[in-house]
Amino acid sequence: MIEVIIQETMGKADYGWLQSKFSFSFGEYFNPDRMNFGPLRVFNDDTIQPEKGFGLHPHKEMEIVTIVLEGLARHGDSAGDVHFIHAGEIQRISSGTGIEHFNYNASPIYPMRLLQIWLMPNQKGLSPSWEQRKFETDQMRNCLLPVVSGSDKENSLHIHQDTTFYMSVLDANQSLSYEAKIGRRTYFYLIDGEVVLDHNFTLRSGDAAQITDIDLLTIQANQDSKLLIIDLP
């Protein structure tokens, strides 16, 4: 089953300094039918204006994945650690027993776009930890590259959940297939471009799909596209 979720039906917020699109209930947006998809609890597509961002705030018992799509993020925590996340880099935080952190657009000129993704962990009481890594466009061109995984796939970031994130940059008129497993969930998000899923469902930039009970998913790019697939229990 493929349930397409067009971006016009997602939650939205515009605070001037921040434009957000919510796949699931978040903040002031509440939809009882859009609370989570398995352990996937938050999936936000954020655009943050220059030198603006999220001040110091707490998290506990959540796996947080940040994918910077455009711009430069300045990230830090209450321990005094400050570092930067460049476009093309992905950060994984395990908040575990508790952290406080902040995240700002480091540029004085350009907006920053990022994906903020939260998953409920498969273990509680973990010590907080984080890591980040750069993934080159050529690594994911016309293929599915595992970038975050609970099964320690080679060169991917480790997450405390039975999940794998795959990214792809698909050239126009190219296609690929994703082998899903019966009994598992697949969350598909089109970051940019236009694709056709399973020869039948057209998605455009910002659209998503919740997929269940399919063992093979075909993805055809109508134009140059960038996508994220999350395999979930």
Strand order, beta sheet including 18-22: 11-14, 18-22, 40-48, 112-119, 63-70, 89-94, 129-134
Whether the pLDDT of residue 6 is over 80: the answer is yes
Question: What mean pLDDT comes out for the span 140-155?
Answer: 93
What tens digit of pLDDT does each residue of 98-111 get? 999 999 999 999 99
Residue 45: partners with Cβ closer than 8 Å, 6 or more residues away: 20, 21, 113, 115, 206
Whether the pLDDT of residue 80 is over 90: the answer is no
Residue of 81 and 197 predicted with greater confidence: 197
Whether the pLDDT of residue 152 is over 90: the answer is no
Domains of the chain (ranges; CATH) run 10-137 (2.60.120.10), 144-232 (2.60.120.10)
pLDDT band, very low/low/confident/very high, at 69 (cuts 50, 70, 90): very high
The residues facing 116 across adjacent strands are: 44, 66
What tens digit of pLDDT does each residue of 163-191 get? 999 999 999 999 999 998 889 999 999 99
pLDDT band, very low/low/confident/very high, at 193 (cuts 50, 70, 90): very high
- Mean pLDDT score of the chain, rounded to an integer? 96
How is residue 136 annotated by DSSP?
-
- The C-alpha atoms of residue 23 and residue 38 are separated, in whole angstroms, by 13
Residue of 137 and 79 predicted with greater confidence: 137
The residues facing 60 across adjacent strands are: none
pLDDT of residue 153: 82
- The C-alpha atoms of residue 50 and residue 109 are separated, in whole angstroms, by 6
In whole angstroms, how far apart are CA 95 and each of 11, 76, 108, 153, 215? 25, 13, 29, 22, 33
Worst-scoring range by mean pLDDT, 14-23, 75-84, 119-128, 148-157?
Answer: 75-84
- The C-alpha atoms of residue 175 and residue 16 are separated, in whole angstroms, by 38
Question: What mean pLDDT comes out for the span 120-134?
Answer: 95
Residue % of the chain over a pLDDT of 90: 91
Whether the pLDDT of residue 78 is over 80: the answer is no
189-217 per-residue burial string, b: 16 or more CB within 10 A, e: under 16: bbbebbbebeeeeebeebbbbbbbebeeb
Report the predicted TM-score, pTM, of the whole model to 2 decimal places.
Answer: 0.96
pLDDT of residue 112: 99
pLDDT band, very low/low/confident/very high, at 24 (cuts 50, 70, 90): very high
Sign of CA dihedral 77, 80, 81, 82: positive
